[in-house]
Chain A
């Protein structure tokens, strides 16, 4: 229904464009130079007047109608239903809505609910017809008003450009709204969580078992929300990843920028960057089904105790995923070192590798550190690889062959599946999200600042 209304609105607007344009030609007496703006602007002016107010009202209406109808229906319920406690009332309302939509209801509907469902349906039909009438008449009114307003002196271009500029400005603020949205949503739920669990216990506790029991008298019914094992697990896996990614990424970048022929570079660089384009779920699949069993076999052959979901497997594969980040960022940094520094070193008789080790790396170090920090933040926030290849049990251990769990894994396990939204278990996921967001934000800010400062140094 909504799509038809939108389609009608679009058709009306395009009609308005042509009407407005023709009107502009008409009022100009055939001489365009009499007009303030080009005829097309008069067309756009009419189209905007026709479409925009109607669209805004439509959005508002669609957002408000369901809750308004629900309120009306609830108000019309017989008193024995109407006076139910809030959560029971919610169930009744759900039943009514399900009946309206033709879904299965939880219990055999009693006549009062059936009647309410009918009431709901009627109200919805009335609401929808009213919506059509209001929207179409609003569009026509806008069209008529602006069509009438068209005169050679009307500053149509300025009006239209004002609206377009407004759209540009609004779009650019969306980034800020997104950040605010992230911070607020994570912070709000975290504060709720910290009312259940003290923040010190969350940040410094050594026990993590979020399974809250159904009965209050059960052992461990409160659950334990000490996040230290998660932090240590995240650090262990990202540490392994960095041990793989930093040497390989850095050496590849050095080779590509200092040794490789242009031909080789033109092939090898994009080939390495394929690694960055592969979806993480593919890495996760490879880690869980190929790398982890392989490591387990090798470990067992050497007489070691290897968990089937070892931190090593997830870390290794994550390291490979991060190689291109390290290598392309360091590549930029290395290329930014002025050629004169290399030439000076060669003139003193140093070999290429000596130049790299004694001159290039020290000069590029801040930038390389920045790129490594960015890679670390990427590793900490990586989700799918660890969800698929790392374990669920929160062990506080530094052993790479044991199974550990990470912050992201716990967020996913806490939030997938059915549970009430305001239990400490689900809220804990938001608290973890807050930690994750804060840490990656700090890392990113430091890294970006370091890289920028370093660039300025040589520019």
Chain B
């Protein structure tokens, strides 16, 4: 009995071994392939991140520089102050564009003819006279003197100088003409056309002229909107989390609340915009385009995020803390207020900052409540019409000028910088204050 058994086992095992060995190569190849698919999938995602960042930074960084032309400006008293009495009203309404035109003609004295002259005047931005007026209003002593002043060049000049208009293209197919290119070359050769850091981008509101358009209005709008969002959603979110985690009895009502919170977290953002339009604007009659309404809508959106993060932070506080506080004779609210909440606060703040970062990037619901208008003035209160940074990006991305593409990318860079800042802050908070029990 033992003999056939002894021979049978090796043959059978040899059979299995051959079977296994025969397929082993294929199976290992499949294994390697599978592994490569996994790596490929991850690298595809990462490559996309890099591509997008690279693309946007590549497009956007030139926007931080802006072309200026140095013009010899004669602050002619006959134009600025014909009566000679330094009347501020007269000075304010003087013809500053004439000063700019004279300055340009002084640089290129042999330009003649209406068409040529108009092409020459197009080199400087329509902002240049305003800039001159500001300087004269601030320093009336300038009147009668002659100064070399750096003035904003027009967006076309700027785009050309940055190499985004093909010099070789046919004249009719480019926005800048041959004679203008000649003047620009002369200016560059004499050092009278330079790129300077673009402060306008950060100090002025929106404009139809790319070289004068800035994101300050949008930044302030975002600031007011987020302030409202935070002031509303943080206290209410924390209160809800505390109630649900520490006080609520387990019954149908609290179940309903929980289901609601989980569902609200997944409702498309645009639906919140519809809510804002129907309830806040049409029913309560709050003004359209106001940061107050935007903040209200965004706080409803951010609430679930804060509540969920807050509850997680509260559950991570060990029950022994609560028992110790209760054992010392604290009331339930004292226990929460003095012990549990301070311990859970870093986690709650982290969650809220992440929620606020998300609110900062949100634009769809704000389109519904009219924060999408063209607004030049920088908002000064919660009720002024305004727009926010992502919506400004959306608005600019629709405009055809190359200079606006550049500015859109720059605005995206600013937006991403803020988001990185906020998320970084959240990470630091978590790393520094989170306690593991």
Contact = CB atoms under 8 A, between A and B. Distances in A.
Nearest to B373: A416
A127 interface: no
Interface string B402-417: 0001001100100110
Interface centre among B27, B40, B267, B268 (most CB of A within 10 A): B268
Contacts of B272: 182
Nearest to A251: B41
A452 to B, nearest CB: 10
Nearest to B260: A175
B267 A445 contact: no
A279 B361 contact: yes
Interface string A234-257: 000000000000011111101110
A252 B141 CA distance: 69
Contacts of B41: 247-252, 255
A408 B46 contact: no
B367 A412 contact: yes
Given A165-B333, A175-B257, A182 B275 contact: yes
Given A255-B39, A421-B282, A433-B270, A282 B240 contact: no
Interface stretch (A107-115, A142-150, A195-203, A381-389): A381-389
Nearest to A379: B268
A59 interface: no
Interface centre among A168, A173, A188, A430 (most CB of B within 10 A): A168
Interface stretch (B106-114, B119-127, B154-162, B390-398): B390-398
Contact of A185 (B34, B239, B278): B278
B62 to A, nearest CB: 15
B52 A282 contact: yes
B375 interface: no
Given A271-B49, A421-B282, A175 B304 contact: yes
Contact of B34 (A172, A277, A356): A356
Contact of A178 (B31, B44, B264, B268): B264
Contact of B275 (A178, A254, A388): A178
A272 B42 contact: yes
Interface in A254-287: 254-256, 259, 268, 271-272, 274-275, 277-286
A274 B427 CA distance: 13
Interface in A219-238: none
A171 B236 contact: yes
A404 interface: no
Contacts of A176: 256-257, 260
B364 A171 contact: no
A440 B243 contact: no
B31 A440 contact: no
B45 A256 contact: no
A252 B256 contact: no
Contact of B49 (A274, A416, A441): A274
A275 B394 contact: no
A408 B37 contact: no
Interface in A420-443: 421, 429-430, 433, 436-437, 440-441
Given A186-B278, A412-B367, A433-B271, A279 B390 contact: yes
Contacts of A251: 37-38, 40-42
Contacts of B408: 285
A161 B367 contact: no
A351 interface: yes
Contact of B243 (A169, A271, A384, A437): A169
Contacts, number: 246
What class of interface size applies to chain B in its complex with A? 35 or more
A323 interface: yes
A374 B268 CA distance: 11
A172 B239 contact: yes
Contacts of B235: 171
A88 interface: no
A357 B361 CA distance: 38
B51 to A, nearest CB: 8
A323 B43 CA distance: 12
Contacts of B40: 251
Interface string A338-375: 00000000000101111011000000000000000010
Given A172-B240, A436-B271, A161 B55 contact: no
Contacts of B27: 351, 354
A282 B239 contact: no
A172 B38 contact: no
A288 interface: yes
A168 B268 CA distance: 27
A178 B303 contact: yes
Interface in B235-277: 235-237, 239-240, 242-244, 247-248, 254, 256-257, 260-264, 266-275, 277
Contact of B419 (A271, A277, A377, A412): A277
Nearest to A357: B34
Nearest to A255: B38
Nearest to A247: B41
Nearest to A380: B268
B187 interface: no
B219 to A, nearest CB: 15
Nearest to B262: A448
A254 B20 CA distance: 26
Contacts of A281: 361, 363, 390-391, 393-394, 397, 412
A175 B42 contact: no
Contacts of B416: 278, 282
A-B pairs, top 8 by smallest CB distance, nearest first, are: A381-B268, A255-B38, A279-B361, A185-B278, A251-B41, A353-B34, A171-B239, A383-B364
23 contacts: A161-B331, A165-B247, A165-B333, A171-B239, A175-B257, A175-B307, A181-B279, A188-B278, A247-B41, A252-B45, A255-B42, A272-B45, A278-B52, A278-B361, A279-B390, A280-B363, A354-B31, A384-B390, A387-B367, A408-B268, A408-B270, A411-B274, A440-B268
Interface of B: 20, 27-28, 30-31, 33-35, 37-42, 44-46, 48-49, 52, 55-56, 235-237, 239-240, 242-244, 247-248, 254, 256-257, 260-264, 266-275, 277-279, 282-283, 300, 303-304, 307, 331-333, 357-358, 360-364, 367-368, 370, 372, 390-391, 393-394, 397, 405, 408-409, 412, 415-416, 419, 423
Given A185-B278, A351-B28, 20 more contacts: A171-B237, A172-B239, A172-B244, A175-B307, A176-B257, A178-B303, A185-B279, A282-B361, A282-B412, A283-B52, A320-B45, A383-B367, A388-B394, A411-B368, A412-B367, A433-B270, A436-B268, A437-B271, A440-B268, A448-B262
